[in-house]
Amino acid sequence: MSSNKTSKSMSKSGSEIVKQEDVTLAVLIADSFSIRFAPVTESKPKALLPLVNRPMIEYSLESLLLSGVQKTFVYCVAHADQIRQYLKESKWMRSVSPMSIEVISQSPDDCRSLGDSLRDIDGKSLIRGDFILMSADVVSNVQLIPILEEHREKKKTDKGIVMTHIFKRSFPGHRSRSAEEELVLAINPTNGRILNYQQTTNLKKLSFPLEMFKENSLVDLHYDFVDTHISICSPVVLPLFSDNFDYQTWGDFVRGILINEEILNNTIYCHVLEGSYAAHVSNVPMYDAVSKDIIQRWAFPLVPDLNRSDKTPRHTLSRHNVYKQPGVTLAKESVLERDVAVGEDTKIGERTFVSQSVIGSRCTIGNDVHINNAYIWDDVEIKNKCRIEVALIADGVVLNEGVEIGRGCVIGPGVILAAGIKIPDNTRLMAHPPKRDNDFETSDEEDDKVATTPVSADSVAYVYHRPIEEDSDAESLIDELWGLDIDEDSESDEDDEDEAADDEDEEHEEELDVGDLPEDLNARSFYNEVLESLQRGYEEKIKGDNLVLEINSSKYAYNVTMKEVNMLVIKAMLSLPSVMTKKAATGTNDDWIALRPILQHFLSVLRNYLKNNQSMLDSLEALEEFGVHNPHFVKSICKVLHFLYGEDVLSEDAILEWYANPPNDPSALKTIRKTVEPFITWLEEAEEESSEESD
Amino acid sequence: MPSLESEIEGIIETFTNNLKQRKFNGSRDLAINSVQLWKKIIGQMKWQNARELMDNIKKIGKDLAETSPSETVIGNMTRRMLKIVRDEYAMLQKGKQEDSDLQESLQKILTADEGDFDYTKNISTLKPAIMEHIGEFLAELESSEIDISAQALEHIHANEIIMTIGYSKTVSAFLKTAAKNRVFQVIVAECAPFFHGHKLASDLAEARISTTLIPDSAIFAMMARVNKVIIGTHSVMANGGLKAVCGTHTLALAAKHYSVPFVVCAPMFKLCPEYVCSLDQDGFNQFVSPEEVLNNDEGKLVSRVNVYNPIFDYVPPELVTLFISNTGGNAPSYIYRLLSELYHPLDVQL
């Protein structure tokens, strides 16, 4: 059926505008709005990163084509010109292509999330019918048309259906379960309607609303689902995103729909894949998992020996899933053990051992090299006796003789490593010192001293430090755990999480520690915004009222609660001195000397926020949390309290109430409570005196 | 292919796309479709002489074969087209003298020399002659199934027990035709992991043939009672060996052990001038998703095991008793002769 349409629309290509109702549409978002692959993605968009010697976007376009999609809008943000250029030269943009493609690009400043891009698409009013929404880093062999039909069928009985989201079943321990995207889904098993959706990455406990069980006689709770990032959307999805400008991600959208379910009567359904494959390359460990799935042919027919383009010839397949493009030279006694793909004109030296790896085109690999579980892209030169274990090596890297790369490393494009260097586990290297002019100034300044020196004198390599991500939750460091051998971590999953948490703590100490950064990414973004506003406000001596306005607008933009605002504003102020002096404060009185003028300047801001007892308690809690995470600050706490009390920002009652209640963090007892004790006793005495006087 | 008009490119693109989306229903459908594709291409393409046409056909054919390397039918059809062009050219060149000598002798085939013709002469009647020949060939393809099943009564006798494996349209038609006049039993091996045998069994049962479905593991046990094995195949290799669905080798060995005749229904277009150089090499076998063997849901197991799911078996020619093609029955040792009639030796390597 669809083939007829294809040929019809094709033979009259271009000139005739095809009616949208008849055409199967897809929207491909060619950006993941994250920096998981940094520093590799600094110069190349993620959609064009090679996945088993083929740009990632090829897989998603191929998946859509194989499903019979006729028109695809490719929405690109970061490095949009490169994607546009790539597609222009590819077979997809040729007039005879059975699937027509339209590229929409948007600057990264205007579009920072999935939500923004969908709002933009809505603004352009390109789509009027049901469409397939997919991310450009999805690899799937799912036949989407039957699912689209199913969606339309459901629409007949349920007018409020906005989306059918596709999930794949993968039991815990499966390599394609991304640690960042663990989720629990409550569905109605009779019709597949989603009743509740929660991300469980960091949770030990889950709660479900009681109504859910009251309203539905049957509820299935699923922990075995993996989000494929493919959904079938009704056209109403786009205006829904436009109306709710706080929807940033798919998760926001689902939560929003479920909360407003009773008012708007919108529903979301899920489709669970049976026997087909779909996975989403969200981070480096997932890149590893998906590459292996492709090599082991789970993604058939998206396998290297069947896919070819004008530029890349076909791989030939031999025993044990070894794929070779033409022109591969294997020297004597070299071994390609299993699950290996080798690109065009690559030379592999004598006695070199390669297993479970992908090697790109035009690489030169020397003698006695050991490569296991590595992803090596194009034009890489690896000299004799190197050892690479679980790593990602980008284009044009040169590893001189005897370099050893630890587990989980990511080596950015153009890096040159001098002979004999050993790179520790989980290091990310790039070829130039980190730039200062990016959005993440707060953390970069801290790292500058370390980062501007190369790894060694003869190398062109600088350590890349992950900035505090605006768009990720605190758990992003999980993907640094890439490379832990399954056999090694025989502990339970819970231990894994603990490990992740440990890592995270360390990282925070290295960088700027502002206490418990909120889990919620909205609050995190809000915090960064506030910090920026305050810094600017202090440097340019902006009036307090204007700052309050600015902070309030950020509050609405990120949808944070009043309590969070109070706490985060205080934290931001306290961390301001160390941010501005670019070094961690050394303790003693320096802290206070730096802090005092700042607090003095922001008194009006503080007074604006700390109006009632509750807000004061919040701010005290924040103060305490900040102290717990910055031990050197503890000594100043007493002075801060005194100052704020003296300026009538904090009331006596609030301070006493705070002191009377046990702190959240028991470790605070020993240090902070002890330091403030003299101040409290002084306060109590003063109170007694005043009460005596009034008597 | 920038030299070709975009319209031809469009036709080819649609074809490869249909191929990728697995829209063709069986290898006969694929053969007919690819010949129709060639008919369109040859009809629309601009060419001055046979040489130019053949070069273009080779170029496009090579590209088509690359898209789906395990579909030998596409390559076979390309070679047939080249053969048709050569024949028609020779016919027109030499005039009537060739007519008397249509059945070429072995000596002539072996000594055939490119020097005989340079194919550069511009003959105005060449194009219609080629188109007519292609039309005849299409008719032959379309009737191949009927031609094969017409021979059914010569091979299936009353009260015999026939064993087969998997699903083959040709075999299904063959057995159904025989069932109109004879009463016999069929045992179908289900052919894991795809279980296409289930479909054949239900088809045959609907045609009121007494049918038994058995698991693949029971093939050897049941073979003692079987009078004849009749199967279909994906393609026939140049040495008379088979490239057939996984499990066929088991069946052939069991048949050999019990000296049961092993009959293969294969229309002429499945004859492929290629030899098997290695069993796992590309081009011969095709490996598909391991999903049918091991569910991808399984947690840690998936990353700890390697699962291979090949879809073809190679059956050596010594295990095959007889080929039934649309032109009659042939022994495996005679395949080389058929091949040399079907394809020109210079076209074997595309």
Nearest CA in chain A to B299: A174
Q: Tally Cβ neighbours within 10 Å of residue B326.
A: 21
What's the CATH code of the domain at A264? 3.90.550.10
Number of domains in chain A: 4
Q: Cα–Cα distances in Å, from A381 out to A245, A367, A371, A378?
A: 48, 12, 13, 9
Question: Which of the residue ranges A167-181, B50-64, B281-295 would you say has the lowest mean pLDDT?
Answer: B281-295
Q: Does residue A603 sit in the same domain as residue A490? A: no
Name which residue leads in pLDDT, B319 or A458.
B319
HSE of A391, CA atoms in CB hemisphere, 13 A:
30
Nearest CA in chain A to B305: A296
On whether residue A52 sits in a domain, the answer given is: yes
Q: Does residue A218 sit in the same domain as residue A358? A: no
B305 interfaces chain A, CB cutoff of 8 Å: no
Q: Cα–Cα distances in Å, from A292 out to A55, A242, A379, B184, B298?
A: 16, 38, 22, 50, 15
A498 CB contacts (<8 Å, ≥6 apart)? Answer: none
CB contact under 8 A, A277 and B23: no
Query: B68 contacts in A (CB within 8 Å)?
Result: 306
A7 interfaces chain B, CB cutoff of 8 Å: yes
B2 interfaces chain A, CB cutoff of 8 Å: no
Task: Report the percent of chain B where pLDDT is more than 70.
Answer: 90
Question: Which of the residue ranges A426-435, B37-46, B166-175 would you say has the lowest mean pLDDT?
Answer: A426-435
On whether residue A369 sits in a domain, the answer given is: yes
Question: Which residue's structure tokens are 């064009």?
Answer: A48
**Shortest distance, CA B21 to any CA of chain A (angstroms):** 5
Q: How many A-B residue pairs are in contact by the CB < 8 A criterion?
A: 108
B24-31 long-range contacts (CB < 8 A, ≥24 apart) are B26/B169, B27/B71, B27/B73, B27/B234, B27/B235, B27/B269, B27/B270, B28/B141, B28/B144, B28/B145, B28/B169, B28/B170, B28/B267, B28/B269, B30/B71, B30/B73, B30/B74, B31/B73, B31/B76, B31/B77, B31/B141, B31/B269
On whether residue A332 sits in a domain, the answer given is: yes
CB contact under 8 A, A3 and B17: yes
Nearest CA in chain A to B16: A98
CB contact under 8 A, A10 and B281: no
Nearest CA in chain B to A299: B289
Q: Does residue A541 sit in the same domain as residue A491? A: no
| Residue B155, pLDDT score | 94
Secondary structure string (H, E, C) spanning A33-99? CCCCCCCHHHCCCHHHCECCCCEHHHHHHHHHHHHCCCEEEEEECCCHHHHHHHHHHCHHHCCCCCC
Of A272, A288, A304, which marks where a domain is finished?
A288
**Shortest distance, CA A141 to any CA of chain B (angstroms):** 10
Nearest CA in chain A to B283: A316
With a CB-CB cutoff of 8 Å, which residues 100-159 of chain A face chain B? 141
CB A560 within 8 A of CB A526: yes
**Shortest distance, CA B222 to any CA of chain A (angstroms):** 32
What's the CATH code of the domain at A344? 2.160.10
In this complex, the residue of B6, B287, B303 whose CB is nearest that of residue A297 is B287
Choose the mutation target among A1, A7, A143 for the interface with B, i.e. most B CBs under 10 Å.
Answer: A7
Query: A170 contacts in B (CB within 8 Å)?
Result: 296-297, 299
Mean pLDDT of B222-242: 93
CB B45 within 8 A of CB B2: no
In this complex, the residue of B10, B23, B292 whose CB is nearest that of residue A11 is B10
Residue from B30, B26, B115, B98 nearest B64 by CA: B30
Q: Does residue A133 sit in the same domain as residue A280? A: yes
What's the CATH code of the domain at A623? 1.25.40.180
CB A549 within 8 A of CB A533: no
| Residue A481, pLDDT score | 56
| Residue A549, pLDDT score | 79
On whether residue A281 sits in a domain, the answer given is: yes
CB contact under 8 A, B280 and A319: yes
CB B287 within 8 A of CB A317: yes
In this complex, the residue of B18, B290, B309 whose CB is nearest that of residue A3 is B18
| Residue A584, pLDDT score | 46
Query: B67 contacts in A (CB within 8 Å)?
Result: 306, 308
Nearest CA in chain B to A171: B299
| Residue A670, pLDDT score | 66
CB contact under 8 A, A7 and B14: yes
Of A247, A272, A288, which marks where a domain is finished?
A288
Range of the domain at A404: 314-463
Query: A341 contacts in B (CB within 8 Å)?
Result: none
Q: Does residue A128 sit in the same domain as residue A191? A: yes
B277 interfaces chain A, CB cutoff of 8 Å: no
Dist. CA B188–CA A116, nearest whole Å: 58
CB contact under 8 A, B296 and A170: yes
Q: Is B182 left (phi over 0), alpha (psi -120 to 50) or beta?
A: beta
Query: B287 contacts in A (CB within 8 Å)?
Result: 297, 300, 303, 317
- In order along chain A (695 residues), what is the average pLDDT of each group of 10 residues? 40 42 84 81 88 90 88 89 89 80 86 86 87 91 90 88 90 82 88 86 81 88 90 89 84 84 82 89 89 90 79 82 90 92 93 94 94 93 92 92 90 90 86 62 45 72 68 44 45 38 38 47 78 79 77 76 78 75 51 75 78 79 76 74 78 79 65 75 71 51
Please report the domains of chain B, with CATH numbers, ordered by start residue: 6-145 (1.20.120.420), 150-341 (3.40.50.10470)
Q: Does residue A260 sit in the same domain as residue A341? A: no
Q: Does residue A64 sit in the same domain as residue A124? A: yes
Please give the full DSSP string across A472-530, using - where no structure is assigned: S-GGGGGGGGTT--TTT--S-HHHHHHHHHHHHHHHHHHS---SS--SSHHHHHHHHHH
On whether residue A305 sits in a domain, the answer given is: no
CB B344 within 8 A of CB B112: yes
Q: Does residue A478 sit in the same domain as residue A452? A: no
Nearest CA in chain A to B295: A275
Q: Residue B223: pLDDT above 80?
A: yes
On whether residue A308 sits in a domain, the answer given is: no
A224 interfaces chain B, CB cutoff of 8 Å: yes
| Residue B107, pLDDT score | 61
Query: A145 contacts in B (CB within 8 Å)?
Result: none
Dist. CA A187–CA A169, nearest whole Å: 14
Query: A7 contacts in B (CB within 8 Å)?
Result: 10, 14
A588 interfaces chain B, CB cutoff of 8 Å: no
On average, the pLDDT of chain B sits at 86
Query: A167 contacts in B (CB within 8 Å)?
Result: none
pLDDT digit string (tens) for B73-115? Answer: 999 999 999 999 988 888 887 764 444 455 555 566 555 555 5
With a CB-CB cutoff of 8 Å, which residues 485-544 of chain A face chain B? 486
Dist. CA B325–CA B308, nearest whole Å: 33
CB contact under 8 A, A96 and B17: no
Dist. CA A91–CA B10, nearest whole Å: 12
Q: Does residue A284 sit in the same domain as residue A402? A: no
Dist. CA A69–CA A143, nearest whole Å: 10
CB B186 within 8 A of CB B204: yes
Query: B14 contacts in A (CB within 8 Å)?
Result: 3, 6-7, 10, 98
Choose the mutation target among A228, A298, A493 for the interface with B, i.e. most B CBs under 10 Å.
Answer: A298
Q: Does residue A459 sit in the same domain as residue A482? A: no
Dist. CA B212–CA B108, nearest whole Å: 50
CB A136 within 8 A of CB A105: no
CB contact under 8 A, A6 and B17: yes
CB contact under 8 A, B10 and A224: no
CB B39 within 8 A of CB B131: yes
| Residue A74, pLDDT score | 92
B52-61 long-range contacts (CB < 8 A, ≥24 apart) are B53/B85, B54/B82, B54/B85, B54/B86, B54/B119, B56/B4, B57/B81, B57/B82, B57/B85, B58/B82, B58/B347, B58/B350, B59/B1, B60/B1, B60/B4, B60/B12, B61/B350
CB contact under 8 A, A338 and B306: yes
Q: Does residue A82 sit in the same domain as residue A143? A: yes
On whether residue A2 sits in a domain, the answer given is: no
Q: Does residue A283 sit in the same domain as residue A355? A: no
**Shortest distance, CA B153 to any CA of chain A (angstroms):** 39
A257 three-class SS: helix
For residue A476, give both structure tokens: 């992003």
CB contact under 8 A, A338 and B68: no
On whether residue A612 sits in a domain, the answer given is: yes
B299 interfaces chain A, CB cutoff of 8 Å: yes
CB contact under 8 A, B297 and A169: yes
CB A362 within 8 A of CB A378: yes
Dist. CA B108–CA B341, nearest whole Å: 11
